[in-house]
Structure 1
Amino acid sequence: MMNETATNFTSSPTLLYTKTTIPNITYYRNTSLLIIAYSTIPATAVTQPRPQVNTTLSTPATTPADPVTSLNMPYVVAELVIAFLSTVGNLLVCAAVGLNRKLHTVTNYFLVSLAVADVCVGALAIPCAILTDMGTPRHNLYLCLLMLSVLIMLTQSSIFSLLAVAAERYVAIFMPFRYHSLMRPRNALLVILVTWVLAFLIGLVPLMGWHKTPPASGYCFFVFVVDMTYMVYFNFFVCVLAPLVVMFLIYAQIFAAVKRQMRRIAADRGGMAGGEGAAKIKREMKTATSLFLVLFLFTVCWIPLHVINCFLLLCPSCPVPLPLLLTAIILSHANSAVNPFLYAYKMKSFREAFKGIFLCCKGASMGEDHRDNGGGTAVPRA
């Protein structure tokens, strides 16, 4: 972080990446790309390690000035596309479950909770990230922290929803006779409420005091106000990594148990795996595989950014290429847009529900066109 009163300016690789020309300095924030162009900087040497860049640069002696921020447009365009796909796709998931009674299951209630979190990422969190890229709001620390915490809250809600899905599948496989008493819709709604409250509290931890002292300039930049120890030790290790490990262990047990049951049924039938019991187990296996794929994609999308955060905190001298950072950021946000496509591809019930919604919309549109063209009685075809 910049010491605004110092005459020598030595930046940390955790925060800054220096361009090849001065007086422009590029700041990296680990929530999105931010370019801060300083028209003037303090006197003497500017030293910044960066791969394939001349790391020692000098500038004329001038007085400090406020930064003028400009967004990286390709990054912003990518974020806006992700926001649109995430919002529309996950609203479609919510509509499919709401309109189709066959989808009113405990598993799908948890998936709707996950979809609501992804809708909020597209409609709320990504716009907040773009605003904070410009340092907005300025001189309002608590509003700044709240905006920066939105994505943390929603990510945590997604993790808890995935954990609830894994637990529900565990009960369905290992406690089938107690499933209907434990996994009632009322209990599912209570679990969803608890997960959202916990996610909200975890996201608000920076507002409760675990944050950095803001710079005198008052700009709302992630690395200036959010403590990286919170992001790594508390958010990643405790709130992200631990639940993910638990979920992977649950699915490993589920797959092992289902395979044992399939082998047992095949042995009882003399090598034939047919019958109603085998068909039910196959359905459970297919459902568990689809849900595990949702978890796997979440892990693939989010772990790279958290690993980079660990490098930035624990190994400040380790060089991290800027394209890699941007890829990790976009990948983490893109996870909110992929689940609707996964449901449509892997789950027949959702695929049919999506088709029904599209056909309804198409039929309504054709009906409106018919009324606009006169709305008379249709002439029978010969």
Structure 2
Amino acid sequence: MNSSQNATAPPADLVISPNVAYMAAELVIAALSTVGNLLVCLAVGLNRKLHTVTNYFLVSLAVADICVGGLAIPCAIMTDMGIPRHNLYLCLLMLSVLIMLTQSSIFSLLAVAVERYLAIFLPFRYPSLMTPRNAVLVILVTWVLAFLIGLVPLMGWYKAPPDSGYCFFVFVVDMTYMVYFNFFACVLAPLVVMFLIYAQIFLTVKRQVRRIAASELGGGGEENAARRAAKMRREMKTATSLFLVLFLFTVCWIPLHIINCFLLLCPTCHVPLPLLLTAIILSHANSAVNPFLYAYKMKAFRSSFKAIFLCCRVSVEQDDTADEGGTTKHRS
């Protein structure tokens, strides 16, 4: 949601002054999101060890976050000022961008959860089910679905714009669409499914580790049991890191959806402007946190990030040395 208005339409001659603090926060998030997620894509592209189906879905999530930083946040800043004015369809298109990208993020997270479920519960069928080709196909489907869901307001599910012509979210986008269709059906339902999947994964892996530990104490096939236990612990560590990505997404986005529910179900309730802007900033900030999470929790990503930074540093130092050498030669 990108509007700082929630009461009555502003008069037609009103000049909207920009909220400098809000714009500054958004621009910082946009920069962090774009640079950080480009780094994620670069790490997966350069490091063969990161060429896994799970990471393909994380790249899809990173691409959505890059688009949030480079496209959706500028749109949010413009619509917070009521721009574009007197152009309903361009306004709806800009407001639909963030909805589409949010939906793509949710579908990417759902794909990761299902992929982890198959890896643990169907280990023998997993290689044939989750091939790179199938992963790319799933990613394409998720983006097409997200695109269609985001464009629903443009297809007619919107409110008549105010006479002032300002492009504010709550004056143009129908809250019944945002709450019943977007939140309940397209956001909350997938989130519940994902939390149930991870709960089952954690319980099953924990049970298997205990069973393997018990077999080790019984003295039967200790070496094989140790290998299986190590594999289960790795699966648990990976699932924990990916669950944290899901948890942070939920924490960042749920407050804004709750405010949408208030706007629909309690039209007379007043939502303070600072609270609304904080919820908007928090939702956008989610696009910037994942690269930091990968660097902190996943050793392969951390190593790749270090290698990229070191490579860039060495390259810059070499260029500087070459420039100095070239200048010296020229002077002689």
Shift, 1:32, TM fit: 4.4
Shift, 1:282, TM fit: 0.6
| Partner residue in 1 for 2:297 | 346
Local SS of the residue matching 2:16: strand
| Partner residue in 1 for 2:200 | 253
Aligned AA for 1:134? M
**2:68 aligned with 1:121:** yes
List runs of 5+ in structure 1 lacking aligned partners: 1-29, 42-63, 378-382
The answer to which of 276-285 and 154-163 deviates more is 276-285
Change (3 A) 1:318 1:225: closer
Local SS of the residue matching 1:139: coil
1: distance between equivalents of 2:100 and 2:178? 12
Equivalent of residue 173 in structure 1, options 117, 120, 131 = 120
1: distance between equivalents of 2:208 and 2:16? 61
1: distance between equivalents of 2:234 and 2:41? 23
Contact 2:2–2:168 (8 Å) recurs in 1: no
2: distance between equivalents of 1:217 and 1:323? 23
**2:225 aligned with 1:294:** no
**2:227 aligned with 1:276:** yes
Aligned AA for 2:286? N
| Partner residue in 2 for 1:105 | 52
1: distance between equivalents of 2:327 and 2:227? 53
Report the structure, 1 or 2, having the larger strand content.
1
| Partner residue in 1 for 2:79 | 132
| Partner residue in 2 for 1:31 | 2
Aligned AA for 1:85? L
User: For 1:313-345, what per-residue CA distance to the aligned partner results, in whole angstroms no more than 9, with x for missing partners?
Assistant: 112233433332222111100000000000000
Shift, 1:34, TM fit: 5.9
1: distance between equivalents of 2:61 and 2:207? 31
1: distance between equivalents of 2:161 and 2:12? 17
Contact 1:34–1:134 (8 Å) recurs in 2: no
| Partner residue in 2 for 1:362 | 313
User: For 1:218-241, what per-residue CA distance to the aligned partner results, in whole angstroms no more than 9, with x for missing partners?
Assistant: 221212211011000100000000
2: distance between equivalents of 1:354 and 1:271? 44
Change (3 A) 1:275 1:312: same
Query: Could you tell me the TM-score, scaled by structure 1's length?
Result: 0.81
Shift, 1:214, TM fit: 1.4
User: For 1:272-293, what per-residue CA distance to the aligned partner results, in whole angstroms no more than 9, with x for missing partners?
Assistant: 9971111111100000000000
The answer to which of 125-134 and 176-185 deviates more is 125-134
Equivalent of residue 66 in structure 1, options 13, 21, 25 = 13
| Partner residue in 2 for 1:185 | 132
Query: Could you tell me the TM-score, scaled by structure 2's length?
Result: 0.93
| Partner residue in 1 for 2:214 | 267
Contact 2:159–2:172 (8 Å) recurs in 1: yes
Q: How many residues align?
A: 323
Aligned AA for 1:308? I
Shift, 1:264, TM fit: 0.6
1: distance between equivalents of 2:3 and 2:174? 16
Change (3 A) 1:271 1:66: farther
Equivalent of residue 31 in structure 2, options 66, 81, 84 = 84
2: distance between equivalents of 1:130 and 1:148? 11
Local SS of the residue matching 2:217: coil
Aligned AA for 1:147? M
| Partner residue in 1 for 2:89 | 142
Q: Considering only aligned residues, what root-mean-square deviation do their CA atoms show, in Å?
A: 2.0
Change (3 A) 1:68 1:301: same
List runs of 5+ in structure 2 lacking aligned partners: none
| Partner residue in 1 for 2:184 | 237
**2:307 aligned with 1:336:** no
2: distance between equivalents of 1:32 and 1:254? 39
Local SS of the residue matching 1:324: helix
Report the structure, 1 or 2, having the larger helix content.
2
Equivalent of residue 313 in structure 1, options 256, 264, 274 = 264
The answer to which of 272-281 and 357-366 deviates more is 272-281
1: distance between equivalents of 2:12 and 2:106? 42
Contact 2:36–2:288 (8 Å) recurs in 1: yes
> Which structure carries more relative contact order (alpha carbon 8 Å, separation 6+)?
2
Percent identity reads 80
Contact 1:135–1:220 (8 Å) recurs in 2: yes
| Partner residue in 2 for 1:53 | none
Change (3 A) 1:196 1:351: same
Change (3 A) 1:65 1:157: closer
Aligned AA for 1:345? Y
